[in-house]
Chain A
Amino acid sequence: DAKTTQPNSMESNEEEPVHLPCNHSTISGTDYIHWYRQLPSQGPEYVIHGLTSNVNNRMASLAIAEDRKSSTLILHRATLRDAAVYYCILRDGMEYGNKLVFGAGTILRVKS
């Protein structure tokens, strides 16, 4: 499985934008970039995914580097509810089952 590298933790102020980075220098052409988050005492929650182009949805934006070796999850205005562990995961579209394999993720702390 292609690997991702994320900072262990980040801190943000409430109402400010947050940029969560992810490095995936060994990404293949068939890998999709997925982001999930896990709030305390809950199951993971799908946030967003992309392949080559930047993506927006109601939760966040995903900016993908032109060479696809890195990406950034953008929360436009952090709230206390956004405090969670954020996982950047690659899923191979050519792999049987294209499993979701979790790493350690980034712990996001939001200060009021």
Chain B
Amino acid sequence: NAGVTQTPKFQVLKTGQSMTLQCAQDMNHEYMSWYRQDPGMGLRLIHYSVGAGITDQGEVPNGYNVSRSTTEDFPLRLLSAAPSQTSVYFCASRMGQFRAWSGYTFGSGTRLTVV
């Protein structure tokens, strides 16, 4: 199994550009989420989804859009990139919508720089 796959691994954007960070999992996990991690800080939740067609905002959703049309994919869209969105982005998934005991599987991250 590939687990959680994130693409691209690295990206440089100019201010105002838009782009989509891809996340795919092959474990049939219902729950998927996106985090960002800034230097010296912990991970902060951007958006999450408890299943196909259902998404919700996390702690820092502004400037990002998500959709969940399939169980496998959960893309993160930056609408108009800003330097404050320079960060490392992690996608994660887990079994079950409401299983507080299930462990998360994380992707290897996308390092985004906005200039």
A96 to B51, CA, bound (A): 12
Q: How many A-B residue pairs have CB under 8 A?
A: 62
Given A32-B101, A36-B104, A49-B103, A100 and B33 contact (CB-CB distance below 8 Å): yes
With beta carbons under 8 angstroms apart, the residue of B41, B44, B45, B90 that contacts A44 is B90
Complex interface: chain B residues within 8 A of A2 (CB): none
Contact indicator B42/A30 (Cβ below 8 Å): no
A98 to B59, CA, bound (A): 13
A91 to B98, CA, bound (A): 10
Complex interface: chain B residues within 8 A of A104 (CB): 41-42
From B99, B103, B105, name the one whose CB has the most chain A CB atoms within 10 angstroms.
B103
Task: Check B74 for interface membership: any CB of A closer than 8 A.
Answer: no
Task: Check B109 for interface membership: any CB of A closer than 8 A.
Answer: yes
Complex interface: chain B residues within 8 A of A45 (CB): 106
Q: Min CB distance, B21 to chain A, in Å?
A: 14
Taken residue by residue from 21 to 37, chain A's Cβ proximity to chain B (1 for < 8 Å, 0 otherwise) reads as 00000000011101010
Contact indicator B42/A98 (Cβ below 8 Å): no
Contact indicator B106/A49 (Cβ below 8 Å): no
Given A43-B107, A46-B105, A99-B58, A93 and B100 contact (CB-CB distance below 8 Å): yes
Contact indicator A32/B42 (Cβ below 8 Å): no
Complex interface: chain A residues within 8 A of B66 (CB): none
Given A43-B90, A43-B108, A100-B92, A49 and B101 contact (CB-CB distance below 8 Å): yes
Residue of B nearest to A51 (CB): B101
Taken residue by residue from 37 to 72, chain B's Cβ proximity to chain A (1 for < 8 Å, 0 otherwise) reads as 000011111001010000010110000000000000
A102 to B58, CA, bound (A): 12
Given A44-B104, A51-B101, A97 and B31 contact (CB-CB distance below 8 Å): yes
Q: Min CB distance, B65 to chain A, in Å?
A: 18
Complex interface: chain A residues within 8 A of B90 (CB): 43-44
Residue of A nearest to B101 (CB): A32
Task: Please give the residue numbers on chain B whose beta carbons come within 8 Å of chain A beta carbons, in ascending order.
Answer: 31, 33, 35, 41-45, 48, 50, 56, 58-59, 90, 92, 97-101, 103-109
